[in-house]
Chains A and B, each alone.
Chain A
Amino acid sequence: MPVRLYLNSVGKSFTMHLQGGTVIPVVENVEFSVEAGECVVLGGPSGAGKSSILKMIYGNYRCDQGQILVTVGDEIINVADAEPRQVLRLRDNTIGYVSQFLRTIPRVSAEEVVAEPLIAQGTSEAEGLDTARSLLSRLNVPERLWKLPPATFSGGEQQRVNIARGFIAHYPILLLDEPTASLDAANRAVVVRLVEEKKAKGVAMVGILHDEDVRQEIADRIIDVTGFSADVAA
């Protein structure tokens, strides 16, 4: 299968200027690739830099060293030095991010929040909302909530709205930041199904999954991030 994503000697540290310029090394020489239809899970204890790696791939954190190469059609784009508008274009059409935390926007209903990425890819509003409702229903978000803004929902409900939002559109690359944390067994199973469907469509995925069962079910490969630890390398 073709390689969709390739991280080459990626390194990252934070300089905390407000703490006297303390430098916190995060990762060094991160090197792996992900093929279409493959789900790679990042392993290692918390603080090992798993989330930072996902955020660098998404362009949310800056990448200090190395390259993050993404295949877009016939083109290869290096996220590490891409222009802001290139990164935004990647986020519209190429890289999706499923996180645990929903950033709610006042007055925007749950179904609109979910449908937005699909509509952004050119689907009509009616079809986008239909797809959104069926996903919300699969994830057991009660129908009475669909038209309400999610700001007042419970933590679990917000999380499921965000998962629906993350899975609704088609992205060749999907980043999963603990999508099953604190979900009940039934909803975990739904997420596993969603991931399997994406795999079948050839989506390349990189995930952080602490749940051992879910990990067993969806991971094709586990990469231990402690191998990229900046402390070890130093």
Chain B
Amino acid sequence: MNVFKADDPLLQVHNVPRYYGDRIGCTDVSFDLWPGEVLAIVGESGSGKTTLLNCLSTRLAPTAGAIEYRMRDGSMRNLYQLSEAARRLLMRTDWGFVHQNAADGLRMNVSAGANVGERLMAVGDRHYGKIRETADDWLGRVEIASDRIDDDPRSFSGGMRQRLQIARNLVTHPRLVFMDEPTGGLDVSVQARLLDLLRRLVADLGLSVVIVTHDLAVARLLSHRIMVMRHGRVIEAGLTDQVLDDPREPYSQLLVSSILQV
């Protein structure tokens, strides 16, 4: 399987800054993302990685610059010149957003099946039996047993909630998924299972992913390319194993050398 199917980028980011008053959230960020490519944004807390992710996913308007996205019809559109309705449709169908805290991405008071089915209804599915069947199939793909379909996520463990959130995001076959520390706050064994699941799903579905993580092991396992951020700027970028095995910038070297060996 070739990782990159198309020669045209899916997302193009041109000189995007975001300021909070005088303070820099992130600045001078430019990159292209290709179909099927997983890009990890790494750095310490406060480095601007979440600000950038929020700008990319239209959750936070950048102060300047342009972010262009290739729509399903092949045209490149500036995300912040789309109508609010068009942007919301994009977020509900063509994109996914996996939050660190599953409760932020789920509706905690409706059933697991409804959490998954809701996104299908948003794209126009109306047939109850079919929606339930698809939801059940997706719960299976994220290793949630069928007999939990009517339970609400409050009764789920942290790992299960996270897997449910992933199913909810992927059910509409998005082309681009944003992930904010998807394995943060989980036990290591739960983390390993989730990572393996993510790795398979991303490869099988040919997803493009922008993943924010402070865990370099997660970046190594999931991503093709890495951007190291510090003080709101991208200080080093490149092939994941090249940046991790041969880091060039002082801060990248510090990050890599700070990993504990097990």
Of A104-112, A129-137, A173-181, the stretch lying at the interface with chain B is: A104-112
A120 to B30, CA, bound (A): 30
Closest-by-CB residue of A relative to B239 is A84
Cβ–Cβ contact A88 & B192, under 8 A: no
Cβ–Cβ contact A122 & B1, under 8 A: yes
Cβ–Cβ contact B257 & A106, under 8 A: no
Knowing A17-B249, A17-B253, A85-B34 are in contact, say whether A59-B239 is a contact too (CB < 8 A).
Answer: yes
Knowing A92-B2, A107-B196, A120-B1 are in contact, say whether A85-B37 is a contact too (CB < 8 A).
Answer: yes
B225-262 interface (Cβ within 8 A of A): 225, 238-239, 241-242, 245-246, 248-250, 253-254, 257
Residue in A18, A60, A84, A93 whose beta carbon sits within 8 Å of that of B257 in the complex: A18
Cβ–Cβ contact A84 & B254, under 8 A: no
A221 within 8 A of B: no
Cβ–Cβ contact A105 & B196, under 8 A: yes
A107 to B143, CA, bound (A): 14
Closest-by-CB residue of A relative to B2 is A92
A188 within 8 A of B: no
A87 within 8 A of B: yes
Cβ–Cβ contact B238 & A84, under 8 A: yes
Distance from A195 Cβ to chain B, minimum over Cβ atoms (Å): 25
We find that the number of chain B residues with CB closer than 8 angstroms to chain A is 26
B195 within 8 A of A: yes
Contacts of B193 on A, CB cut-off 8 Å? Answer: 106-107
Contacts of B195 on A, CB cut-off 8 Å? Answer: 106
Cβ–Cβ contact B3 & A92, under 8 A: yes
Distance from B98 Cβ to chain A, minimum over Cβ atoms (Å): 19
Cβ–Cβ contact B238 & A88, under 8 A: no
A104 to B242, CA, bound (A): 19
A31 to B242, CA, bound (A): 22
B88 within 8 A of A: no
A105 to B253, CA, bound (A): 24
Residue in B4, B246, B249, B253 whose beta carbon sits within 8 Å of that of A88 in the complex: B4
Distance from B118 Cβ to chain A, minimum over Cβ atoms (Å): 30
Contacts of B199 on A, CB cut-off 8 Å? Answer: 105
Show the binding face of A for B, using Cβ within 8 Å: 14-18, 55, 59-62, 84-85, 87-89, 92-93, 105-108, 119-120, 122
Show the binding face of B for A, using Cβ within 8 Å: 1-4, 34, 37, 192-193, 195-196, 199, 221, 224-225, 238-239, 241-242, 245-246, 248-250, 253-254, 257
Given contacts A108-B196, A120-B2, 17 further A-B contacts (CB under 8 A): A15-B248, A17-B249, A60-B242, A60-B245, A61-B245, A61-B246, A62-B238, A87-B239, A87-B242, A88-B3, A92-B2, A93-B2, A105-B199, A106-B192, A107-B192, A107-B193, A119-B1
4 closest cross-chain pairs (CB), A and B: A17-B250, A106-B192, A84-B239, A107-B196
What are 11 A-to-B residue pairs whose CB atoms are below 8 Å?
A15-B248, A17-B249, A18-B257, A55-B245, A59-B239, A60-B242, A60-B245, A84-B242, A85-B34, A85-B37, A88-B224
